[in-house]
Amino acid sequence: MSTLGSSGVEVGGLGLGAAPLGNLFTEVDDEQAYRAVDVAWQQGIRYFDTAPHYGIGLSERRLGAALRDRPRAEYTISTKVGRRLERVETVTGDDLADGFAVPATSRRVWDFTADGIRRTLDASLERLGLDRVDIVYLHDPDDHAEQAFHEGYPALEKLRAEGVVGAIGAGMNQAGMLTCFIRDTDVDVVLCAGRYTLLDQSALTELLPSAVARGKSVVIGGAFNSGLLADPKPDATYNYAQAPAELLDRALRMKEAAERHGTTLRAAALAFCAAHPAVASVLVGARSEAEVRDCAEQFAAKVPGAFWQELRDTGLLSAEAPVPTEERS
């Protein structure tokens, strides 16, 4: 377990990202979603991340129901604010334009005001069936920086001071603004998705060193870059779009190297993310018990030091990126 900054909130090395439980891209039924959470618990996973955005609240409702009979003190849960849900009077279609196979029963409203933050969190707590969450992230404030820094972040500070939440931060698919949160505010943690992987180490330039220097924590999402590092093949996705040929080639070369050294690319991708000293946890999205089991097994697998050396020798991995020791890998 790692403590997030100076918050006292603890997370395990592997966490479950619950976007797939909100019908990300394809439908998942309730039983399948609950079973995925049950198996995650059996595998020792105690950190669960969700957001109102995921399935227009469906992920939060399912995660709350799946955890309802678990001892509250034994798990850590995070959700996000900044996308407030407003019910629509007439449902006219689905939400696939935003990536989720659910009826479009609500619309998302960008809202990083202090009032919007509290209203959004109150609604999340109702869907989760909880009286508190452990971590709250400002969700994708890329185009709302002024409001997020001057209204949203202070609102989170107040919620933390009131004891409503234990740790606060921001979650984004970029490293630059997250570095500003680390340097310019008193966040405990940031969630960086897709920017620290075997294929993209842009977070290594400033974000991760800044977090270490300031005693802050980083949670890594998107370790597989939305699929390419899980199963590299011609139709694989990279950051939710068709994988460029150059990156597909790099991923295939890494996969071949992993197999030569008796491991898997999935194990290497997870181990790489976890190896940096700033990283407190790696989130994996899974929609079935089989996927959860596989992720837990891959995370626990040993990745030989010779594999990392080959990647560096062949230019597939920067020499500056820390890799697991034999003891951790």
Q: Are 45 and 116 in contact (CB under 8 A)?
A: no
Whole-number Å distance between alpha carbons of 93 and 237: 26
Q: Are 78 and 136 in contact (CB under 8 A)?
A: yes
Q: Are 169 and 188 in contact (CB under 8 A)?
A: yes
Q: What contacts 231, CB < 8 A, 6 or more positions away?
A: none
Residue 47 catalytic?
no
The structure tokens listed for 28 are: 């998942």
Phi/psi of residue 124, nearest 5 degrees: -65, -45
Whole-number Å distance between alpha carbons of 288 and 77: 19
Exposed/middle/buried for 321, CB within 10 Å: 0-12, 13-18, 19+? middle
Q: Are strands 94-95 and 100-103 parallel, antiparallel or unpaired?
A: antiparallel
Identify the active-site residue in 34, 47, 54, 196.
54
Question: Which whole-number Å values give the CA distances from 100 to 11, 94, 140, 171, 211, in the listed order?
Answer: 27, 8, 17, 19, 33
Catalytic residue numbers read: 54
